[in-house]
Structure 1
Amino acid sequence: MEWLIWIGAALTLGGVLGLAWCIWLAMAARRANLPDAEMRARLQHVVVLNLAAVGVSAFGLMFVVAGVLLG
């Protein structure tokens, strides 16, 4: 089940990179000094991406644990 561990590690790394991207997007929106409504719209988009990145990372960690337990 070594392949499951590697797939899980890749998914986890992708999720962590997605989280870093969300941080970068939020900081860019903060630096832009946008009006309140536009700032909310951008941050709502960042929240959706953030949840997706956390989900991908969680699935990756589940794959790693399953690979370790089955291997």
Structure 2
Amino acid sequence: MDALIWAGAAVSVMGLAGIVWCIRNMLSARGANLPEPEMRARLQKAVAQNMAALALSAVGLMMVVIGIMLG
């Protein structure tokens, strides 16, 4: 079960990296002074990417918990 714990930790770190990437992406878009429609489109895309990264992180944490429970 150690492999499941370490794999879950790796998946969780990838999700966390995705969340940080979304934050950096939005901070750069905010500083670019984009027109309203383009900014809205970027925000909608970023929300979808952020939710996917959050889901990936949650799956990784579930893998860690299951690995601990089974081990």
TM bin, normalised by shorter chain, reads: over 0.9
Per the normalisation by structure 2, the TM-score is 0.98
What does residue 7 of structure 1 align with? 7
Alignment of 1:1-71 (within 5 A): 1-71=1-71
Which segments of structure 1 move beyond 4 Å, counting only runs of 4 or more?
Answer: none
Percent of aligned positions with the same letter in both sequences? 55
Where do 5+ consecutive residues of structure 1 fail to align?
Answer: none
| Equivalent AA in structure 1 for residue 6 of structure 2 | W
Aligned length: 71
Where do 5+ consecutive residues of structure 2 fail to align?
Answer: none
| Equivalent AA in structure 2 for residue 41 of structure 1 | A
Per the normalisation by structure 1, the TM-score is 0.98
| Equivalent AA in structure 1 for residue 54 of structure 2 | V
| RMSD over aligned Cα atoms | 0.4
